[in-house]
Amino acid sequence: MHKSVLLEESIEYLNLKEDSTIIDCTLGYGGHSSNILKNITKGFLYAFDQDKDAIVEADKKLKAINTNYEIINTNFKNLKEEINKREKKVDGILFDLGVSSPQLDNAERGFSFHKDAPLDMRMNRDDKLTAYEVLNTYSCEDLTNIFYKYGEEQYSKSIAKGIILSRKSKEINTTLELAEIIKDNVPEKYRKKGHPARKVFQALRIYVNKELEVFEIALKDALDLLEINGRICVITFHSLEDRICKQIFNEVSSIPKELKKLPVIPKEYKPLYKVLANIAPSKEEIEANSRARSARLRVIERI
C-alpha cells in the first residue's frame, strides 16, 4: 500500500484554511490530495497527474470526501497555463516528487529492478521515448552521461560499456535483463552495498520523463502563481531534485550580494519570498516506511 511521505508536515506547512485554493502538482494515488480536500471544505483543489491509472484510483478516493476539486490530466510543466485558464488566486502548492508505490509495484510499467517487465518507465504512456529505446540505440558516451548525471552512478562508464557489448548479440528487452547486465559490470564489493541497479534505473526514469527540466520550469511558475502569504511545499527524494529546489528558493528569498552592505535596501530589491522550513522525516516515519529515508521537505512563503 502506498504511504504518503511527510504527510503531516506538508499538510501543516500548507497552512490550509477552509476556503483555500490549493494545487497538488503530483496527485499520484491521492494520499496528499485527500488530506488537503478534508481541510478545505469551502475551498478548491486542482490536482495534476499524467498517469491515467493513478487518476482513476485517486478520483474514487477524492469523490468520497467532496466534489471541490478538478483533476487536470497533464504534466505539471503546464501548471501556469492550466491555472491561468481557471483561477488567479492560489494559496498553496504541493510537489511530491517520489514515484508512487503502485507505479513501482505494477511490474509492466518497468520502474522496478526487482520485477521482470518491458523496459518502459514512462509516467505518461502517450509519450514516445521509452527506456528500451534509450538502452538499445544510444551511444556509450550518451549512456555514460545519463547514468552519471541523473543517477550519480560512479560506475557509469563500465555499465554503459556492458550494455553496448550485450546488445551486440541481443536486444535488451526487460528490466531483469538490464539489472543482470548492471550487476555483471560493477565490482563485487559494490553489489554488497545495496542493489547495484538502483541508480541506473533512477537515471533512466528521470531522463525518459525529463523530470528535472520539467520540475525546474514548474517550480518557477508555481512561485509566480502564489498569492501573498501563499506557500509552496516540495518533497524531494534525491539530491538532484533537492539541489534544484534549494537553489531556486535561495535565489528568490535572498538580497543580491552587491546590495547586502547598504544601510537601507531599496524596496524593489527586497525578496518577495521567505524560506520557512527544511525538514527530514522522523526516525519513526523512516522505520514505518523505508521510502521516507531519502525524503526532504522544503517550504517557501510569498511575503
The fold of 7-102+211-302 is Rossmann fold (3.40.50)
Whether 235 and 10 have beta carbons less than 8 Å apart is answered as yes
Per-residue pLDDT, 1: 53
Q: Please list the alpha-helical segments (H only) found in 91-170.
A: 101-105, 131-137, 140-151, 156-169
Q: Enumerate the CATH 1.10.150.170 domain ranges in the chain, comma separated.
A: 128-208
> Which residues lie below 8 Å from residue 76, measured CB to CB, with a gap of 6+?
25, 26, 48, 95, 214, 218
Tell which CATH architecture fits domain 128-208.
Orthogonal Bundle (1.10)
Residue in this structure with the C-alpha cell 486542482, named with its chain if needed: 46
pTM score, two decimals? Answer: 0.91
Question: What is the mean pLDDT of each successive set of 10 residues along the chain, which is 303 residues long?
Answer: 85 97 96 97 96 93 97 96 91 90 70 91 91 98 98 97 98 97 96 92 95 97 98 95 97 87 83 97 93 94 97
Spatial CA neighbour of 40 closest among 24, 20, 23? 20
Q: Enumerate the CATH 3.40.50.150 domain ranges in the chain, comma separated.
A: 7-102+211-302
Spatial CA neighbour of 157 closest among 172, 169, 140, 171? 140
In angstroms, rounded to a whole number, what is the distance separating the alpha carbons of residues 130 and 118? 10
